[in-house]
A and B are shown apart, each in its own frame.
Chain A
Amino acid sequence: EPEVTQTPSHQVTQMGQEVILRCVPISNHLHFYWYRQILGQKVEFLVSFYNNEISEKSEIFDDQFSVERPDGSNFTLKIRSTKLEDSAMYFCASSDARGSQEQFFGPGTRLTVL
């Protein structure tokens, strides 16, 4: 069964460094998403992406964040200058959005900012 994959599973970085989190959505899906979950808190929406552009973003998704679909398979989230408060699980999801509204989630990347 097709599934969303994410790499790496765990990323440790120093404050101020740039990180890129990678996702491979399900191949025939058209909508892509990033969510994050700070330890002990809710899963929060960051951004959605469709037709090579951002379709929605939350207040969390400020200028430090960017997303890209560099080729036909990968979907990336870049954090330009990480802060301690960026430490969280980051989940990628994809959907075909043809009425089912079901989003398929990846296993997540745990980002630790030191």
Chain B
Amino acid sequence: AQTVTQSQPEMSVQEAETVTLSCTYDTSESNYYLFWYKQPPSRQMILVIRQEAYKQQNATENRFSVNFQKAAKSFSLKISDSQLGDTAMYFCAFMNSGAGSYQLTFGKGTKLSVIP
């Protein structure tokens, strides 16, 4: 079974600064996907960024990028030029890409506050 660990329950960052959220996972699978989801207050979860395990290049989406270290089973999210709208819960999630399984395994989340 897979596990996902987010060791930072809460973090804060000054507007325009950079922040990194940590995520580690444990799996015996070799092919899988990793995700970061964002859940703003009282709103639904939306996908921020996705990484396929077979790709060595780190995924990037505008101000969001990941540092994927497959051997270390680490998948951190970097948010550059933080904006007030980035205030949200951030969930790291794992999906096994084999055997048609689309089940997401989530971490407990990190609550990020962007301070003006």
- Chain A interface residues (CB < 8 Å from chain B): 3-4, 31, 33, 35, 41-45, 48, 55-56, 58, 91, 95, 97, 100-108
Contact = CB atoms under 8 A, between A and B. Distances in A.
Contact of B45 (A42, A48, A101, A105): A105
B101 interface: yes
B47 A102 contact: yes
A12 to B, nearest CB: 18
Contacts of A58: 103
29 contacts: A3-B44, A31-B102, A33-B102, A33-B103, A35-B106, A41-B108, A42-B106, A42-B107, A43-B106, A45-B103, A45-B105, A48-B103, A55-B100, A56-B103, A58-B103, A91-B45, A97-B102, A100-B50, A101-B33, A101-B50, A101-B102, A102-B50, A103-B104, A104-B47, A105-B44, A105-B45, A107-B42, A107-B43, A108-B44
Interface residues of B, number: 23
Contacts of A43: 91, 104, 106, 109
B83 interface: no
Contacts of A45: 103-105
B74 interface: no
Nearest to B107: A42
A110 B6 CA distance: 24
B104 A56 contact: no
Can you list the 6 inter-chain pairs with the closest CB atoms, starting with the nearest? Answer: A43-B106, A105-B45, A107-B44, A45-B103, A105-B44, A42-B108
B102 A48 contact: yes
Contacts of B45: 91, 105
Contacts of A100: 50
Contacts of A108: 44
Interface string B31-67: 0010101000011111100100000000000000000
